[in-house]
């Protein structure tokens, strides 16, 4: 049996003494899309921040419990840069670096020591293609990334995350600033990427979780109400009443 990519045990998170996530226990399998749904202030983003060890940079963020990545307790990993380079993160709003399209994607390979132009060119093209952006920008790679449309900037953010060659890709409500057509294009990209990497998808669009996720967790008021195969969650085969109420739009 293949070991889980990520194991979370007894995870609790607080900010300045206020607990926002209570005793989370879950596993994420290799090469699956693991969806997380739930209303605002359910603790979803804090969960991603804990996986990425953002508590190392936020003095008021306290984390307890255990997170294991590839079987290793992430708190024991001394090389934080090496660990975080294995995890790509895409935030709700595109955060472009003040660089050209090319340099946005080439930055991580350069930091890894890739120097030859031909190799960088190949990596940039591959990542932009995987993010479904290459055909739109291939003739203007030296334009500032900030001049792209919102949907293009979001795909550039995905390309930049992929340039790290991550084992885990975490997306936090990537659709907020993206039009429906671009959203569907990115969803198609994620379906393809699942063959190569593991994906955690936090989304406020329950039908997006249904389209993409293999399994889905429902977070509410800082707790994980339940986790199930996505179709079972949506068809009511395995379902807490609170999950049903959220999925059917009675609150959220």
- Cα 235–Cα 199–Cα 91 angle in degrees, nearest 5: 105
Distances (CA, A) of 216 to 37, 135, 165: 7, 33, 25
Residues 34-78 have pLDDT tens digits of 999 999 999 999 999 999 998 888 989 999 999 999 999 999 999
For the domain with range 1-86+166-186+197-252, which CATH number is right: 3.40.30.10, 3.40.50.300, 1.10.10.10, 3.30.70.20?
A: 3.40.50.300
Range of weakest confidence among 144-148, 174-178, 244-248: 174-178
pLDDT at site 17: 86
pLDDT at 95: 66
Count how many Cα atoms sit within 13 Å of the Cα of residue 56 in the half-sphere of its side chain.
Answer: 14
d(CA 91, CA 53): 15
The pTM (predicted TM-score) of the whole model is 0.92
The secondary element (H helix, E strand) that includes residue 81 is helix 80-84
Tokens at 143, concatenated: 């334009």
What are the tens digits of pLDDT across the range 75-97? 999 999 889 989 999 887 666 67
Q: Confidence class of residue 180 from pLDDT cuts 50, 70 and 90?
A: confident
* Ranges of each domain in the chain: 1-86+166-186+197-252, 93-165
Write down the pLDDT at residue 50: 96
């Amino acid at each position: 049996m293949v070991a889980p990519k990520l194991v979370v045990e007894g995870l609790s998170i607080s900010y300045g003494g206020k607990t926002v996530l209570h005793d989370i226990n879950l596993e994420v399998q290799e090469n699956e899309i693991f969806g997380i749904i739930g209303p605002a202030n359910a603790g979803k983003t804090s969960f991603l921040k804990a996986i990425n060890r953002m508590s190392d940079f936020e003095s008021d963020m306290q984390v307890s419990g255990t997170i294991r990545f590839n079987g290793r307790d992430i708190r024991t990993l001394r090389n934080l840069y090496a660990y975080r380079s294995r995890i790509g993160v895409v935030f709700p709003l595109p955060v472009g670096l003040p660089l050209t399209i090319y340099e946005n994607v080439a930055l991580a390979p350069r930091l890894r020591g890739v120097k030859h132009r031909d190799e960088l060119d190949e990596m940039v093209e591959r990542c932009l293609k995987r993010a479904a952006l290459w055909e739109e920008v291939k003739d203007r790679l030296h334009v500032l990334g900030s001049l792209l449309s919102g949907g293009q900037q979001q795909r550039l953010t995905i390309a930049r995350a992929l340039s790290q060659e991550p084992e885990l890709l975490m997306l936090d409500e990537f659709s907020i600033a993206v039009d429906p057509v671009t959203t569907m294009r990115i969803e198609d990209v994620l379906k393809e990427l699942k063959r190569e990497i593991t994906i955690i998808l936090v989304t406020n669009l329950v039908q997006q979780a249904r389209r993409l996720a293999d399994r889905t967790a429902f977070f509410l008021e800082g707790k994980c109400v339940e986790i199930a195969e996505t179709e079972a969650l949506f068809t009511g085969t395995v379902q807490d009443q609170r999950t049903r109420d959220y999925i059917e739009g009675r609150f959220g």
